[in-house]
Structures are given as C-alpha cells and as structure tokens.
C-alpha cells in the first residue's frame, strides 16, 4: 500500500528545500522500499539543489548518503527481506554487465554515468506530492522517510550497525577512504588529501579549477602541502609521473577519473561496515552535527560554512 511520510523536496533549482508530506508507492518487481533512519548531506546534493547537475530534474527529492531498514520488497527480490538493515547505493552493482564482471571496474552500466536516474528503471516515479510527480535522485532519494530503489542499488549490512553512524558509508566516507587506499595505494604511514571534483556537460567548455573555501579543508591543505615539493615529490596519482612544484597549492596537473573510488558497492559496503564494527577505523569523527529532517536547510548552511 501507499505510505504517506515526510520528505525534503526541491521544487526548483536555487531554492531552499521544503519539507512536505509525500506519497511513496509500493515497490514493483525487482524493487525495495526502505525506511530511511539517517542520511548525510553531501556536496553533490548541494550541486543538485543549485541546478549544476545536468541529469537532475525538478521537482526532486535529493539525498544519496543514507541508511535504513527494508520495509517491503517487490516480486523477485532475493538479496534482502523486510527488517534487514541496508545502505541504498548511489552507484549500483547489477552483477551482470561487462563492467560488473570485470574485477578492475566498478562502472556498472546502470550507473548515472550511462543513464539518468531521475526516474526508476521503468521510467516512472514512486513519489508524488500535492498531485505532482516528484523525481528521484540517483535512484535513492534519501531525504525522505521512505524511498524505493532497485534491488541492485541496495547493500545489506550487519544487523549490529548503528544506522546513524554508517549512513555516510553510502558516499562521503567511502569515497575519501577509497581514494586513499584503492587509488593512491597509500600505506599506514602516509598522509594524503582527497579532493572531489564535480563536472558536468553544462560546463565542459570551461577551464577546470580546484578551489576550497571550507576553512577545515584549507587548514588540512596548508598542513599537508608543506610535505609536497619538487625535491621529495608527491603525485596526486601514483600512475602519473608528475611531481608537485614548490608551490603545490596553485598547481594541479594530474587527474584520474573514478566513480566511487574503486568500490564495487554491493560487495564492499558490507565489508566496510564490518571493519567499522571491528574498530579498524573511526569514521565517527566525520559526523559534526545531527539534525532532524525539519532542519535540513540548516544542515546545508553548516555544510557551506564548513562549521564543526
């Protein structure tokens, strides 16, 4: 049956989110309906709100860094069941395409790189509000109390996992951690800065610039770039024979395009959650504020200001 719940809806680009009552339709075949317990705010959501992402259609429910509990499943779903703790995935893993079958790739052909994810795969939405269709974001729309996603965009995780802590494994933590250990191949003794660059076809003809206004990032960059100079060099990508000059903060010369930094998400997210439970790392330090859904716009203001 249809569930009525709250969701943060972006009605138009450049406008604040509006917390509305929405209707969430039941899952169809191959789909999973999830009760979202917690979600992070990612800068990609900020790009979506600004209208900077060419494949986002309004009105839309953003959010892609969530965790929750399976409420119901559609016909044919076998990997999860009602009551399971799960993380919805912003990068799917169908397990059948040539990229999923390639051990060196995580670019599933069902990802947003290849097809828009503003509607579910059958080209319909499960969200309505005030009689209007509301678009999905990356298929998962975690700024809603309930959401519907394809089965291949869901990872079942350990039942002991605290959902308010591991929600950021859906993007933020895993992307930065993956950049360090999967791409840069850093060791335990090394330090690195992971910078996420957002580009879109709208801006493809413009120069690409890296700039940070977040004071937390600026502080880290100032500290770490003291270790980057021409004589005992560092390369942003170990596969590029590029050294950073004496003023590295003004030179960025080597890029490697990656999607979710090398993780095959349905396989790797549960393993990361298990590692968290085993205290192999402390990702809790990345959580600076906890707010109710009603204060979602305040959360974005904190993100923009870089406040702890």
pLDDT, mean of residues 25-39: 98
- Catalytic positions are 42, 44, 47, 64, 171
The DSSP output letter for 260 is: G
- Round to whole Å and give the CA distance between 170 and 161: 13
> Using 50, 70 and 90 to split pLDDT, how confident is the model at 276?
very high
Tokens of 283: 């990702």
Tokens of 46: 């900020």
> Using 50, 70 and 90 to split pLDDT, how confident is the model at 251?
very low
- pTM of the predicted structure, to 2 decimals: 0.78
Q: Quick one: pLDDT at residue 198?
A: 43
- Round to whole Å and give the CA distance between 268 and 93: 11
- Round to whole Å and give the CA distance between 13 and 135: 13
Inform me whether the pLDDT recorded for 92 exceeds 70: yes
Q: Quick one: pLDDT at residue 111?
A: 81
pLDDT, mean of residues 97-112: 83
> Using 50, 70 and 90 to split pLDDT, how confident is the model at 138?
very high
Q: Quick one: pLDDT at residue 179?
A: 58
pLDDT, mean of residues 291-308: 92
Inform me whether the pLDDT recorded for 142 exceeds 90: yes
Average pLDDT over all residues of the chain: 80
Do residues 48 and 122 lie in contact, with contact meaning Cβ atoms separated by under 8 Å? no
pLDDT, mean of residues 198-206: 39
CATH 3.90.180.10 for the 3-175+259-305 domain, yes or no: yes
Task: Report H helices in 62-104.
Answer: 98-101
Do residues 270 and 157 lie in contact, with contact meaning Cβ atoms separated by under 8 Å? yes
Residue 189 class from Cβ within 10 Å (0-12 exposed, 13-18 middle, 19+ buried)?
exposed
> Using 50, 70 and 90 to split pLDDT, how confident is the model at 32?
very high
Domain boundaries of the chain, sorted by first residue:
3-175+259-305, 190-250
- Round to whole Å and give the CA distance between 196 and 191: 17
> Using 50, 70 and 90 to split pLDDT, how confident is the model at 53?
confident
pLDDT, mean of residues 198-225: 43
Where is average pLDDT lowest: 88-102, 180-194, 234-248, 249-263?
234-248
3-state secondary structure of 32: strand
The DSSP output letter for 78 is: -
């Amino acid at each position: 049956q249809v569930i009525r719940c709250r969701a943060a809806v972006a009605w138009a680009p450049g406008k604040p989110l509006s917390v509305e009552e929405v209707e969430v339709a039941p899952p169809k075949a191959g789909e999973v309906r999830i009760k979202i317990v917690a979600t992070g705010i990612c800068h990609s959501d900020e790009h979506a709100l600004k209208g900077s992402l060419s494949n986002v259609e309004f009105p839309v429910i953003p959010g892609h860094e969530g965790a929750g509990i399976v409420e119901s499943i559609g016909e044919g779903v076998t990997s999860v069941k009602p009551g399971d703790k799960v993380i919805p995935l912003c990068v799917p893993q169908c397990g059948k395409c040539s990229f999923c079958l390639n051990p060196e790739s995580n670019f599933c052909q069902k990802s947003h790189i290849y097809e828009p994810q503003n509607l579910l795969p059958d080209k319909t939405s499960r969200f309505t509000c005030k009689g209007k269709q509301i678009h999905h974001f990356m298929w998962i729309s975690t700024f809603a109390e309930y959401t519907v996603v394809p089965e291949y965009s869901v990872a079942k995780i350990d039942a002991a996992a605290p959902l308010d802590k591991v929600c950021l494994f859906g993007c933020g933590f895993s992307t930065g951690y993956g950049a360090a250990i999967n791409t840069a191949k850093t060791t335990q003794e090394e330090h690195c800065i992971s910078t996420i660059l957002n580009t879109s076809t709208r801006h493809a003809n413009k120069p690409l610039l890296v700039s940070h206004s977040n004071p937390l990032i600026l502080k880290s960059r100032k500290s770490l770039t003291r270790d980057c100079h021409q004589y005992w060099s560092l390369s942003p990508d170990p596969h590029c024979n590029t050294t950073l000059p004496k003023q590295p903060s003004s030179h960025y010369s080597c890029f490697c395009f990656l999607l979710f930094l090398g993780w095959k998400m349905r396989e790797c997210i549960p393993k990361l959650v298990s590692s968290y439970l085993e205290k192999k790392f402390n990702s809790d330090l990345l959580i600076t504020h906890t707010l109710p859904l009603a204060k979602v716009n305040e959360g974005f203001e904190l993100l923009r200001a870089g406040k702890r």
